[in-house]
Amino acid sequence: MFKARDLRVMSPLIFGLRQLARTVHWPRGTMPPRRAATSSSSRSKRKAEESADSADESLKTSKKARVAEAVPSASAGSSQPTNKVVPDTIVFPERIPGTLRLATWNVCGLAASRKKGFQRYIDAEDPDVLVLTETKVNDEPSMDLALKARFPYWHWSISAKKTYSGTAILSKHKPLSVTSTLPGHPDPTLVKGRIVTMEFENCFVVGTYTVNAGSDLKARTLDQKKEWNTHFETYVRDLDKRKPVIWTGDLNVAPTELGMYFRMRFHLTNAKSNWNKTAGYTEAETTAFKRFIEPPEDVADAATFVDVWRQLHPTERQYTYFSYRFNCRLKGIGWRLDMFVLSERIASKVKMCEIRGEIYGASDHCPLVMEIEGAL
C-alpha cells in the first residue's frame, strides 16, 4: 500500500509521462490519452463547430434525398437512362427473325439533330421504315448518299410556316401510294407538315406530328386540336376499313397519368393537380384518344386500336420526351408522347416495342421502335 511520501516521489515521473503522452501518435485500437481540461469558451467554440458540421451533413443528406426523390427508382417502375448526349457507340439487340422494324423519332429539327448523333442512331437501328417528326425543314432536304441508299423511298411533308413542324416517312419498301393531306379538314395550311400516309400492300403507315394544344391552352389552339382529332379519327377509320393501319409519330397526348412524371420544386405532385391545366393532358385530348382506341357503342362499325407499347408494358413509367429546360432529363421528368397505335387485328403480330431511352441529346425526344411479323 502506497504512502503519501511514495506519491510525492512518483509525482515528477507521472507528470513526465503525461507530457510524453500528449506528443505520442497513438495507434488505432489503443487507449488515447485523457483530454486536457478546456475553458468554457473553448468548449462553446467546439460545440458550435460540431453543430455546424452536423448541419452541413444534414444539408448534404437532404440534397441527396432530394436528388433521389427527383429520379424515379426502378422499384417505381422506371429504368430510364439519364445521359444527355447520344452515345458514341450504339449497339441494339438483333431484330427478331421474320419481323420488320419500324422506328419513329421526333428529331426537334433535322439540321440540328444531324450534328448531334442522328446518323449514329440510324446506322445502329437500321429500320425498314423510319418516321421523323418535327423536322423543321423548309424544303425537301438533301439526303446524304448513305441515307438515300438505306431508304430509297421517302416523302417529306413541309409546314407552310418556316422552320416549323414537319413530318417525313423514309422506307426501304416501295409504297403503293403516298399522301400528305387530311381529308375533310377545313384548314389545309394547318395540316401541312403534320401528316404523311404511305399505303403498302398489307397496311397503311400513317406518321403524324399531331397538333399541340398549346402551353397556355388558349381556346383557339385547343379548338384546333379538337378539330384535328375529329377529322383524323374519321380518316383513319376509313383507312382501317380497307386494310390495317399502323399509326405512329408524336401524338402530343399523355393518355393516362402513367404517361407523364410531374414534379414541382422538390416535391412530387399528383397528376390530378395538372388535369386540364397542361397541354396533352386535358379532358378533351385524353377523351379523344380513348375514343379512338375504344370507340363507344354508338360509333357504327368502328374498329378498336391498340397502343402497343402500353399493352406490352402495362405498368411501366418510361418516357419519350424530356424538356431541355430545368434539367428534366436528369430528374426523370418526362412524357410518353410518341407511340405506335395499331389496328387491333394486327396487334398480336407485334413482337417488340421499346423506347430507345439511351438515344437522347440529338433531340429532346427519344426514338421508339417496333418489330412486327409479316410484310408491309
Residue by residue, pLDDT tens for the chain (376 residues) are 444 444 444 454 454 545 544 444 444 444 444 444 444 444 444 444 444 343 333 333 333 333 222 333 333 345 679 999 999 999 999 999 999 999 999 999 999 999 999 999 999 999 999 999 999 999 988 777 888 899 999 999 999 999 999 999 999 999 999 999 999 999 999 999 999 999 999 999 999 999 887 766 666 788 899 999 999 999 999 999 999 999 999 999 988 766 555 443 333 334 565 666 676 778 888 889 999 999 888 777 889 999 999 999 999 989 999 999 889 999 888 999 999 999 999 999 999 999 999 999 999 999 999 999 999 9
Positions annotated as catalytic residues are 209, 250, 365
Phi/psi-derived region of residue 151, left when phi > 0, alpha when psi is between -120 and 50, beta in every other case: beta
Could you please state the CATH topology (level 3) that the domain comprising 95-373 is classified under. Answer: Deoxyribonuclease I; Chain A (3.60.10)
Is 274 assigned to a binding site? no
Q: Where are the domains of the chain?
A: 95-373
Taking only the tens place, the pLDDT of each residue in 121-146 is 999 999 999 999 999 999 988 777 88
Buried b (16+ CB within 10 A) or exposed e, 211-237: bbbeeeeeeebbebbbebbebbbebbb
Is 134 assigned to a binding site? yes
Q: How many other C-beta atoms lie within 10 A of the C-beta of residue 278? A: 18
Residue in this structure with the C-alpha cell 444539408, named with its chain if needed = 59
Q: Model pTM?
A: 0.76
Is 106 assigned to a binding site? yes
251, 338 Cβ separation under 8 angstroms: yes
Is 216 assigned to a binding site? no
